[in-house]
């Protein structure tokens, strides 16, 4: 049963605003299995990131959530902050959009990986350092033993995102949420990162939620797709089905908006 790993049912997120509460995510349901990738697509403000933040309990102050979020059968909604801390980064990890601003400029990348490992697994700094070097090697950072003591600004954009991924995977999470991980990168680096993520997924079996507004990226990595529009889940199905036979107007508009180099070849 692959669908058992992660289940979201009827998730609704309400944010307080100056003009009263607004539902930014409405009745979203999906599942992610082991070794499975779900793509969440939608334009800015469609509620993609809010869904991800709701999973980790990192919503802005005052936000309310209802529905159900279950990881391996255990309900995550309504857990205490302390319980959520032990889940974040450990069972569910997250990679963010802009790797430069997502890494703390004041600390070496080594320390930032080590602190996460030690928060969940404990142990000495020495052990954590070893794990961090291995994690950097796994994402193909050359000369990892030396580079571990460098600061984020000393790496290239693609390397920084590799480091974010190394960090996210260092505690072997069962679910990885990647929120626009390739948006801030140029196209060739984007391709390398996608390749890396696919490679790591095939070795670790981690379930993945891949959030993006880029349909080309989704089609290359996701097995199933959830399309969101203004907080509503408008279409949910296998990538093949959603891309070749979209049921909803919005999905069709999204697809039509993509300039396709393979149009003539495909038809």
Partner 1 sequence: MTRYVIGRLGGVVVILLAVCLFTYLIFFKLSPDPAVMICGKTCTPERIDSIRDVLGLNQPILTQFWEFLQGIFAGRDYGSVHCSAPCLGYSFQTNESVWSMITARLPVSITVAVGAAVLWLLAGVIGGLISAIKQGTWWDRTAMALALGGVSVPNYVLALVLQFVLVVKLQVLPFPSAPAFADNPLLWFESYIMPWTVLAVGYACLYARLTRANVIDTLQENYFRTARAKGLSRSLVLRRHALRPALTPITTIFGMDFAGLLGGALITETVFGLNGIGKMAADSIAKNDQPVIMAVTLLAAFFVVIGNVVVDLVYTTLDPRVRVTSS
Is position 172 an interface residue for partner 1 (rule: CB under 8 A)? no
Shortest distance (Å) from residue 119 CB to partner 1: 5
Site for partner 1 in 35-74 (CB under 8 A): 56, 58
Is position 86 an interface residue for partner 1 (rule: CB under 8 A)? yes
What are the start-end ranges of the H helices in the chain?
A: 48-56, 81-87, 99-102, 109-121, 125-138, 144-147, 157-169, 187-204, 215-221, 239-244, 249-256, 263-266
Select the residue interacting with partner 1 from 5, 31, 63, 88 (CB under 8 A).
88
Is position 2 an interface residue for partner 1 (rule: CB under 8 A)? no
| Residues 71/5, Cβ–Cβ less than 8 Å | yes
Closest to partner 1 by CB, 90 or 174: 90
Binding window for partner 1 (CB under 8 A); candidates: 2-10, 78-86, 189-197, 199-207: 78-86
Strands 224-229 and 207-212: unpaired
Shortest distance (Å) from residue 179 CB to partner 1: 10
| Residues 98/125, Cβ–Cβ less than 8 Å | no
Is position 94 an interface residue for partner 1 (rule: CB under 8 A)? yes
Is position 90 an interface residue for partner 1 (rule: CB under 8 A)? yes
Is position 207 an interface residue for partner 1 (rule: CB under 8 A)? no
Distance CA(84)–CA(80), nearest Å, equals: 6
Choose among 216, 108, 116, 114: nearest CA to 153.
Answer: 108
Distance CA(3)–CA(9), nearest Å, equals: 13
Which helix (H) or strand (E) is 157 found in, with range? helix 157-169
Shortest distance (Å) from residue 228 CB to partner 1: 21
Q: Which positions touch partner 1 (CB under 8 A)? A: 56, 58, 81, 84-90, 93-94, 96, 98, 101-108, 115-116, 119-120, 151, 153-154, 164, 167
């Amino acid at each position: 049963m692959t669908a058992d790993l992660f289940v979201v049912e009827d998730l609704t997120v309400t944010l307080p605003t100056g003009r009263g509460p607004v539902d930014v995510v409405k009745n979203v349901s999906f599942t992610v299995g082991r070794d499975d990738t779900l793509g969440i697509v939608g334009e800015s403000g469609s509620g993609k990131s809010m869904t991800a933040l709701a999973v980790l309990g990192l919503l802005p102050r005052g936000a309310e959530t209802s529905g159900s979020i279950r990881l391996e059968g255990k309900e995550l909604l309504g857990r205490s902050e302390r319980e959520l801390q032990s889940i974040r980064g450990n069972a569910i990890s997250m990679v963010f959009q802009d790797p430069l601003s997502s890494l703390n400029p004041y600390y070496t990348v080594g320390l930032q990986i080590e602190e996460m490992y030690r928060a969940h697994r404990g142990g000495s700094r020495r052990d954590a350092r070893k794990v961090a070097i291995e994690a950097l090697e796994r994402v193909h950072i050359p000369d990892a033993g030396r580079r571990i003591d460098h600061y984020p600004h000393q790496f290239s954009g693609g390397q920084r995102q590799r480091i974010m991924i190394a960090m996210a995977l260092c505690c072997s999470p069962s679910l990885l949420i990647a929120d626009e991980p390739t948006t801030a990168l140029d196209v060739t680096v984007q391709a390398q990162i996608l390749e890396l993520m696919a490679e790591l997924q095939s070795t670790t079996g981690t379930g993945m939620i891949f959030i993006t507004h880029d349909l080309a990226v989704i089609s290359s990595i996701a097995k199933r797709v959830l399309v969101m529009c203004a907080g509503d889940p408008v279409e949910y199905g296998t990538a093949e089905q959603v891309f070749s036979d979209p049921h909803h107007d919005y999905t069709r508009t999204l697809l039509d908006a993509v300039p396709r180099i393979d149009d003539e070849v495909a038809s």
